Structure 1
């Protein structure tokens, strides 16, 4: 049994049995449902309420027209919905008075799906940018995802704040051979330029970090250059080699003397700032892809509640946010404001409260006060099966 499918059926069944439950579900939207037929039916039920259907005002048993009119209205937008499936929804609802809790379950599922969908888009944009040598697409999708997470936190009723996850660990995705070779070449050229023209360190030291290098050995060599630059010491092949030795990089196998010599004695026909930006572009797309994979893994963990999911996802975006701020320094561009997700009619605080885990259900009613049963039986048929 799929708990989310059962929750969607229970919500709809509760409203079919007791139209008044719609008043406790104003924070729930049709697109929060996973199945299209459920989206159409919930939208139809809301429309019937807006149109003032008689079933909402009667004190007697719920008329059969409430069900048939909902099925007819939903049938205009989706195929396969029958009166027999409406009966299935009714029988799937344990208690109509628990509709707000069932709705909260549906909202939880929608939050997980939404976060996963936007994480996939971020990953796709990062891969496309990596092939083109750009970053705009990935940064835009990161803004969108940040806005979505902030909006979801508001809808769920929690404070959006980055919180590190305790279990999810995702390895950065491997780049294509072409991209990896291009990135490694740019890194070697940049290091050679910085050794040949040490003053160029001032052009990149403020925004380029060792972690931006795809090759860890290149990153450690850049760290050595940065340390010499910071101390105001001369930079040449020998001083770099000595610094690497002092840091234990020649002992632990991170670097070899031959590697350092090959890079330091290499031709340096480039501009350090331009090469640094190339390295930074590659770093941003790798970071974006890694953040996207981490967030998707979080979203696919159904045991994670919406609040922790949102906050862990915001934390996973942190490395990309930090890389983006340094990219803006490198390009002298102002900080961008994350794009907010569209929220035309945001729910009130009271409505959000109904979706929280601490939602309370309505008191059980005496048998004589239970919502009226349908005044005519519904024919029963076997329901159709759906990133120092």
Structure 2
């Protein structure tokens, strides 16, 4: 049994039985339905309502033959496979037509999971393409689209979009780049570290916006931490002081770094711009972080146990690392920082929120069982308190 399919059938059946239920489903769109025939049928019912179909104003609790027939004919113009008997299956699948908003909320919940998954896949594909081309614009564009989609879905669901970390935080494996791409990134990182270690004042060009996590190689991350520590303390930087700092941190004894690796980096120095090389390193960090964020969002969206509000807020949190590295990449290139779009309340928000189950009104005092006050004089004394 597929609960989402049952919900789609129930919401369509409720509208076929009682056309007036459409006024309570204005926050639900045809695209929120998973099956194409359901999308076409819901769009057809809305189109008939907008044209002033007589069944809408009839206020009947039984299906109108013309309403059902006209809906099938209208939807049949846009989709194949819709038979004249299928609406009767939909009607029989609806337990109570007045529960249409709740059925619609179930449909919207399924649509939220599918849409977040779809845009996470697009972001991942764009990140891989940009990594191969040495660009970042495609990944950043799709990240912005995903953030806007999350905000729109939050307003439709009736909640405020805000980043919230999941508990526990899922561990996302790093993206495995191609051999050619990995070699190119490693060369850029080695060349940058060589320039930083040998050229006086080179750290001043990158220290404000380049972070150790922007390096793909763990050994290169630790070496950049060593360089940053020397720079922070105002000590001279060269291959000897770098080797000493690495030794003090235990990098040569725990296997993180070997003396040969350090020698290769320091002996491979040549003419180069630390700022230009650092920009290449942080550019690869943008695409790598975008790929990791996309995989984390997709993993969240595929978890059907997550409520839509949780999914949206956890997905926004997963995009946080990408926002951080993007702002530093913009600083490295002298670009203005992106200003987040203000959240504009949507009229559909209140209606979708009201579609949630509401507590039943409390019965009057006279109808409550055992509501008569009991005199303290007639109560039996508790044991031990006589």
Same structural fold, with TM-score higher than 0.5 when normalized by the shorter chain: yes
Task: Tell me if structure 1 keeps the 8 A contact 2:155–2:348.
Answer: no
Instruction: Give the SS at the match of 2:141.
Output: helix
CA displacement at 1:13 relative to structure 2: 0.7
Q: Which stretch of the first structure deviates more once superposed, 195-204 or 255-264?
A: 255-264
CA displacement at 1:316 relative to structure 2: 0.3
Instruction: Give the SS at the match of 2:58.
Output: coil
Instruction: Give the SS at the match of 2:254.
Output: coil
The equivalent position to 1:220 in structure 2, one of 222, 227, 238, is 222
The equivalent position to 2:278 in structure 1, one of 276, 283, 296, is 276
Task: Tell me if structure 2 keeps the 8 A contact 1:12–1:89.
Answer: yes
Which aligned runs of 4 or more in structure 1 are off by greater than 3 angstroms? 59-62, 337-341, 345-350, 358-362
Partner in structure 2 of residue 177 of structure 1:
179
Instruction: Give the SS at the match of 1:252.
Output: coil
Whole-angstrom distance in 2 between the partners of 1:349 and 1:5: 24
The structure whose Rg is larger is 2
Partner in structure 2 of residue 127 of structure 1:
128
Q: Counterparts of 1:321-360 in structure 2 under 5 Å?
A: 321-338=323-340, 346-356=346-356, 358=357
Q: Taking structure 1 as reference, are residues 295 and 347 closer, same or farther at Cα in structure 2, changes over 3 Å only? A: same
The structure, 1 or 2, with the larger RCO (C-alpha pairs under 8 Å, 6+ apart) is 1
The equivalent position to 2:232 in structure 1, one of 207, 230, 233, is 230
The equivalent position to 2:203 in structure 1, one of 201, 214, 220, is 201
Partner in structure 1 of residue 370 of structure 2:
none
Task: Tell me if structure 2 keeps the 8 A contact 1:125–1:141.
Answer: yes
Whole-angstrom distance in 2 between the partners of 1:249 and 1:32: 54
Q: Which TM-score applies when normalising by structure 2?
A: 0.89
CA displacement at 1:156 relative to structure 2: 1.1
CA displacement at 1:63 relative to structure 2: 2.2
Whole-angstrom distance in 2 between the partners of 1:349 and 1:175: 42
Q: Counterparts of 1:126-205 in structure 2 under 5 Å?
A: 126-167=127-168, 168-205=170-207
CA displacement at 1:57 relative to structure 2: 2.1
Q: Taking structure 1 as reference, are residues 78 and 338 closer, same or farther at Cα in structure 2, changes over 3 Å only? A: farther
Whole-angstrom distance in 2 between the partners of 1:153 and 1:355: 14
Q: Counterparts of 1:355-374 in structure 2 under 5 Å?
A: 355-356=355-356, 358=357
CA displacement at 1:359 relative to structure 2: 5.3
Q: Which TM-score applies when normalising by structure 1?
A: 0.89
Partner in structure 2 of residue 210 of structure 1:
212
Q: Counterparts of 1:15-34 in structure 2 under 5 Å?
A: 15-34=15-34
Q: Taking structure 1 as reference, are residues 92 and 338 closer, same or farther at Cα in structure 2, changes over 3 Å only? A: same
Q: Which runs of 5+ in 1 are unaligned?
A: 363-388
Task: Tell me if structure 2 keeps the 8 A contact 1:97–1:361.
Answer: no
